[in-house]
């Protein structure tokens, strides 16, 4: 008869189903979960699909901050006006995530849940200083994204908890939202390295504030306080960016695999930063 698939229509219905099927495979778009199950040949005792839970679909303007539900697909993120206005960095990353059908299917919550070092929404969310809102049958809590993502495939989610969404300060006034990833081809590629950036330039042309976050170059997203300190007050030019190169090399721990060598990935970490001036 096959394994049962539940499509709860609300959070309370989810807690009910989850209570009686605690070992079910939970998925939203399934672009990570169904692929992983297929690759490992495993069949879970049941499936719970989150696609019909309206509570995960909220987008809310909260004044100083914006809240975006975990259930938004990448395609929805690309057309949501509040996100375009207040977090223009996020759609830049999502635009190069997967392919159109993957973007119609995969979700923000799924990207967070998978916690891949190559997850393309993660560096932007680190730059935005997002809080991850988590709910369970017994209540709601929120965590800094740096405390939510613990390592490759590893998050602070407890059994029975769901990601409700992410909340972060509006950042529409940061002059430069930037995202670039490098992979073995242009589309549908897992990044070898990526860089998300938010930069505020003071009227005199110097860096007033800067947030940089690298993906795929360590077990989680890499940020550097030292780089931040060193860049402040400097002009945004090649000399400044070159002077930061050693600092990023100390922070990253890229892997070596058939797709690229450590040496190449280290070079990318640096060169991605140099692109911040060629683009603007």
Partner 1 sequence: MHIEFTLNEQQMSLDVPADRPVVRVLREDKGLTSVKECCGLGECGGCTILVDGQSRLSCLMLAAQLQGRRIMTLEGLSTSEKLHPLQEAFVRHGAVQCGYCTPGMVLAACDLLQRNPHPDRQEIKAGLAGNICRCTGYQKIVDAVDAACTTDKDSGRGY
Binding site for ligand FAD (CB under 6 A): 26-33, 35, 50, 56, 70, 97-98, 102, 105-107, 109-111, 113-114, 118-120, 157, 162-163, 188
**What 3-state class would DSSP assign to 193?**
strand
35 binds partner 1 (CB under 8 A): yes
Identify the residue among 1, 40, 64, 239 touching partner 1 (CB under 8 A). Answer: 1
Of 202, 62, 178, 57, whose CA–CA distance to 127 is shortest? 178
Q: Which of residues 8 and 29 has its CB atom nearest to ligand FAD in the complex?
A: 29
Identify the bridge partners of residue 191 per DSSP, sorted by sequence position: none
Torsion angle of C-alpha atoms 15, 17, 21, 22, degrees rounded to 10: -10
Nearer to partner 1, 95 or 232 (CB): 95
Report in angstroms the alpha-carbon separations of 185 from 149, 178, 222, 275. Answer: 27, 20, 23, 18
**Which is nearer to partner 1, 2 or 203 (by Cβ)?**
2
120 vs 180, beta carbon nearer ligand FAD:
120
According to the binding rule CB under 8 A, does residue 34 interact with partner 1? yes
Q: Is 57 within 8 Å of 77 (Cβ atoms)? A: no
Measured CA to CA, the distance from residue 168 to residue 131 in angstroms comes to 6
Count of residues binding partner 1 (CB under 8 A)? 29
Tell me, rounded to whole angstroms, the distance of Cα 81 from its chain centroid.
19
Residue 91 or 119: the one with the smaller Cβ distance to ligand FAD is 119
- Residue 102 binding partner 1, by CB under 8 A: yes
186 sits near partner 1 (criterion: CB under 8 A): yes
Strands (E), the chain: 4-6, 25-27, 46-49, 59-61, 65-69, 131-136, 139-144, 149-151, 154-155, 162-169, 176-182, 193-201, 207-215
Q: Should residue 100 be labelled a site residue for partner 1 when binding is judged by CB under 8 A?
A: yes
Q: Does 2 sit near partner 1 (CB under 8 A)?
A: yes
Residue of 3, 9, 10, 242 interacting with partner 1 (CB under 8 A)? 3
Cα–Cα distance measured from residue 154 to residue 133, given in angstroms and rounded to the nearest whole number: 16
**Closest to 20 measured CA to CA, from 160, 135, 162:** 160
User: At its nearest, how many Å lie between partner 1 and the CB of residue 183?
Assistant: 12
Judged by CB under 8 A, the chain residues 43 through 82 that form the site for partner 1 are 43, 47, 49, 51, 75
**Do 212 and 227 meet the contact criterion of CB atoms below 8 Å apart?**
yes
| Measured distance CA(52)–CA(49) in Å, rounded | 8
Question: What minimum distance in Å lies between the beta carbon of 39 and ligand FAD?
Answer: 11
111 makes contact, choosing from partner 1, ligand FAD, none, with CB < 5 to 8 Å by partner type, with: ligand FAD
For residue 214, the partner it binds in ligand FAD, partner 1, none, with Cβ less than 5 to 8 A by kind, is none
**Which residues would be at the binding site for partner 1 (CB under 8 A)?**
1-7, 29-31, 34-35, 38-39, 43, 47, 49, 51, 75, 98-102, 104-105, 186-188
């Amino acid at each position: 008869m096959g394994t049962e698939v539940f499509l709860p229509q609300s959070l309370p219905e989810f807690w009910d189903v989850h209570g009686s099927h605690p070992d079910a495979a939970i998925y939203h778009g399934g672009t990570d979960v169904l692929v992983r199950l297929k690759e490992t040949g495993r069949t879970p005792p049941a499936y719970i699909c989150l696609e019909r839970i309206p509570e995960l679909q909220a987008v809310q303007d909260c004044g100083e901050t914006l809240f975006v539900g975990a259930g938004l697909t990448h395609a929805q993120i690309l057309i949501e006006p509040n996100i375009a206005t207040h977090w223009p960095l996020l759609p830049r990353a999502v635009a190069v995530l997967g392919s159109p059908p993957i973007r119609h299917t995969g979700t923000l919550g799924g990207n967070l849940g998978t916690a891949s070092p190559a997850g393309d929404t993660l560096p932007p969310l680190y730059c935005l200083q997002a809080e991850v809102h988590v709910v369970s049958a017994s209540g709601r809590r929120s965590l800094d994204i740096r405390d939510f993502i613990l390592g490759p495939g590893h998050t602070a989610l407890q059994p029975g908890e769901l990601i409700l969404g992410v909340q972060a300060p509006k950042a529409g006034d940061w002059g430069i939202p930037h995202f670039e990833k490098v992979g073995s081809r242009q589309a549908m590629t897992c990044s070898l390295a990526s860089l998300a950036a938010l930069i505020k330039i003071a009227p005199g042309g110097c860096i007033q504030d800067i947030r940089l976050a690298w993906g795929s170059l360590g077990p989680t997203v890499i940020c550097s306080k030292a780089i931040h300190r060193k860049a402040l007050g400097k002009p945004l030019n090649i000399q400044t960016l070159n002077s930061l190169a050693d600092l990023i090399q100390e922070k990253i721990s890229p892997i070596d695999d058939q797709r690229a060598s450590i040496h190449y990935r280290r070079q990318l970490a640096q060169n991605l930063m140099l692109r911040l001036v060629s683009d603007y």
